[in-house]
Amino acid sequence: MTVNARGPWLVARALLPLMKAGGGGRIVNLASDAALYGSPRLAHYIASKGAVISLTRAMARETGDLGITVNAVAPGLTEGESSVDIPAERHELYRLNRAISRPQQPADLVGLIAFLVGDESGYITGQTFAVNGGFTMH
Protein backbone atom coordinates (compact mmCIF):
# COMPACT_ATOMS: atom_id res chain seq x y z
CA MET A 1 0.00 0.00 0.00
CA THR A 2 2.87 2.37 0.76
CA VAL A 3 4.35 2.15 -2.73
CA ASN A 4 1.38 1.25 -4.93
CA ALA A 5 -1.33 3.45 -3.40
CA ARG A 6 0.30 6.08 -1.21
CA GLY A 7 3.10 6.78 -3.72
CA PRO A 8 0.85 8.08 -6.52
CA TRP A 9 -1.15 10.13 -4.02
CA LEU A 10 2.01 11.78 -2.63
CA VAL A 11 3.33 12.57 -6.11
CA ALA A 12 0.01 14.08 -7.18
CA ARG A 13 -0.27 16.07 -3.97
CA ALA A 14 3.19 17.53 -4.60
CA LEU A 15 2.53 18.36 -8.25
CA LEU A 16 -1.06 19.64 -8.11
CA PRO A 17 -0.11 23.17 -7.00
CA LEU A 18 2.24 23.45 -9.98
CA MET A 19 -0.39 22.10 -12.35
CA LYS A 20 -2.99 24.50 -10.98
CA ALA A 21 -0.61 27.44 -11.36
CA GLY A 22 0.15 26.31 -14.92
CA GLY A 23 -3.49 26.10 -15.90
CA GLY A 24 -3.86 22.32 -16.03
CA GLY A 25 -2.11 19.09 -16.71
CA ARG A 26 -2.32 15.33 -16.96
CA ILE A 27 -1.87 12.61 -14.37
CA VAL A 28 -1.58 8.98 -15.43
CA ASN A 29 -1.53 6.47 -12.58
CA LEU A 30 -0.24 2.93 -12.98
CA ALA A 31 -2.73 0.31 -11.81
CA SER A 32 -2.80 -3.38 -12.80
CA ASP A 33 -5.22 -5.66 -14.57
CA ALA A 34 -4.89 -7.95 -11.54
CA ALA A 35 -7.28 -5.56 -9.78
CA LEU A 36 -9.78 -6.06 -12.62
CA TYR A 37 -9.34 -9.84 -12.85
CA GLY A 38 -9.20 -10.70 -9.16
CA SER A 39 -6.13 -12.94 -9.28
CA PRO A 40 -6.06 -15.53 -6.49
CA ARG A 41 -3.37 -15.40 -3.79
CA LEU A 42 -2.60 -11.74 -4.57
CA ALA A 43 -5.16 -9.98 -2.35
CA HIS A 44 -2.57 -7.57 -0.93
CA TYR A 45 -1.42 -6.51 -4.42
CA ILE A 46 -4.95 -6.37 -5.83
CA ALA A 47 -6.11 -4.20 -2.95
CA SER A 48 -3.27 -1.74 -3.51
CA LYS A 49 -3.88 -1.51 -7.27
CA GLY A 50 -7.63 -1.27 -6.68
CA ALA A 51 -6.86 1.69 -4.43
CA VAL A 52 -5.02 3.32 -7.34
CA ILE A 53 -8.13 2.96 -9.51
CA SER A 54 -10.31 4.51 -6.80
CA LEU A 55 -7.76 7.26 -6.18
CA THR A 56 -7.79 8.02 -9.91
CA ARG A 57 -11.57 8.45 -9.94
CA ALA A 58 -11.63 10.64 -6.84
CA MET A 59 -8.79 12.84 -8.09
CA ALA A 60 -10.47 13.20 -11.49
CA ARG A 61 -13.60 14.62 -9.81
CA GLU A 62 -11.51 16.97 -7.67
CA THR A 63 -9.38 18.34 -10.50
CA GLY A 64 -11.57 18.28 -13.61
CA ASP A 65 -12.58 21.93 -13.51
CA LEU A 66 -8.95 22.89 -12.98
CA GLY A 67 -8.03 21.53 -16.41
CA ILE A 68 -6.28 18.53 -14.86
CA THR A 69 -7.22 15.07 -16.07
CA VAL A 70 -6.47 11.93 -14.09
CA ASN A 71 -6.56 8.47 -15.65
CA ALA A 72 -5.10 5.05 -14.89
CA VAL A 73 -3.45 2.45 -17.07
CA ALA A 74 -3.83 -1.17 -15.95
CA PRO A 75 -1.25 -3.30 -17.73
CA GLY A 76 -1.33 -7.05 -17.85
CA LEU A 77 1.60 -9.31 -17.14
CA THR A 78 4.39 -7.49 -18.96
CA GLU A 79 7.67 -9.13 -19.92
CA GLY A 80 10.70 -7.63 -18.24
CA GLU A 81 12.75 -7.51 -15.06
CA SER A 82 9.69 -7.32 -12.85
CA SER A 83 8.10 -10.46 -14.30
CA VAL A 84 11.09 -12.81 -14.04
CA ASP A 85 10.05 -14.16 -10.64
CA ILE A 86 6.37 -14.55 -11.50
CA PRO A 87 5.49 -18.28 -11.56
CA ALA A 88 5.32 -19.98 -14.96
CA GLU A 89 1.67 -20.93 -14.39
CA ARG A 90 0.71 -17.24 -14.21
CA HIS A 91 2.50 -16.58 -17.52
CA GLU A 92 0.63 -19.56 -18.97
CA LEU A 93 -2.70 -18.27 -17.62
CA TYR A 94 -2.17 -15.00 -19.50
CA ARG A 95 -0.95 -16.74 -22.65
CA LEU A 96 -4.01 -19.00 -22.78
CA ASN A 97 -6.57 -16.31 -21.95
CA ARG A 98 -5.43 -13.24 -23.88
CA ALA A 99 -7.13 -12.49 -27.20
CA ILE A 100 -3.62 -11.58 -28.40
CA SER A 101 -1.55 -14.52 -27.20
CA ARG A 102 1.96 -13.09 -27.63
CA PRO A 103 3.72 -11.85 -24.49
CA GLN A 104 3.06 -8.23 -23.54
CA GLN A 105 6.02 -5.90 -23.91
CA PRO A 106 6.64 -2.54 -22.19
CA ALA A 107 6.33 -0.86 -25.61
CA ASP A 108 2.68 -1.98 -25.74
CA LEU A 109 1.88 0.72 -23.16
CA VAL A 110 3.62 3.65 -24.84
CA GLY A 111 0.95 4.69 -27.33
CA LEU A 112 -1.86 4.89 -24.79
CA ILE A 113 0.22 6.74 -22.22
CA ALA A 114 1.45 9.21 -24.86
CA PHE A 115 -2.17 9.84 -25.82
CA LEU A 116 -3.29 10.30 -22.22
CA VAL A 117 -0.62 12.93 -21.51
CA GLY A 118 -1.34 14.79 -24.76
CA ASP A 119 -3.79 17.53 -25.63
CA GLU A 120 -6.07 15.16 -27.56
CA SER A 121 -7.19 13.46 -24.34
CA GLY A 122 -8.33 16.65 -22.63
CA TYR A 123 -11.92 15.45 -22.18
CA ILE A 124 -11.06 11.99 -20.84
CA THR A 125 -10.74 11.70 -17.09
CA GLY A 126 -11.39 9.21 -14.30
CA GLN A 127 -10.94 6.22 -16.58
CA THR A 128 -8.98 3.01 -16.20
CA PHE A 129 -7.58 1.54 -19.40
CA ALA A 130 -6.66 -2.15 -19.39
CA VAL A 131 -3.73 -2.87 -21.71
CA ASN A 132 -3.40 -6.63 -21.65
CA GLY A 133 -4.09 -8.08 -25.08
CA GLY A 134 -7.69 -8.81 -24.16
CA PHE A 135 -7.01 -10.78 -20.97
CA THR A 136 -9.72 -8.76 -19.25
CA MET A 137 -12.50 -7.11 -21.24
CA HIS A 138 -15.00 -4.64 -19.86
Which residues are part of the catalytic machinery? Answer: 45
State how far the Cα of 71 lies from the Cα of 79, in Å rounded to an integer.
Answer: 23
Locate all alpha helices (DSSP H) within the chain, ordered by sequence.
7-21, 34-37, 43-63, 88-97, 110-117
C-alpha span between 84 and 42 (Å, rounded)? 17
**Closest residue by Cα to residue 128 from 61, 67, 19, 50:** 50
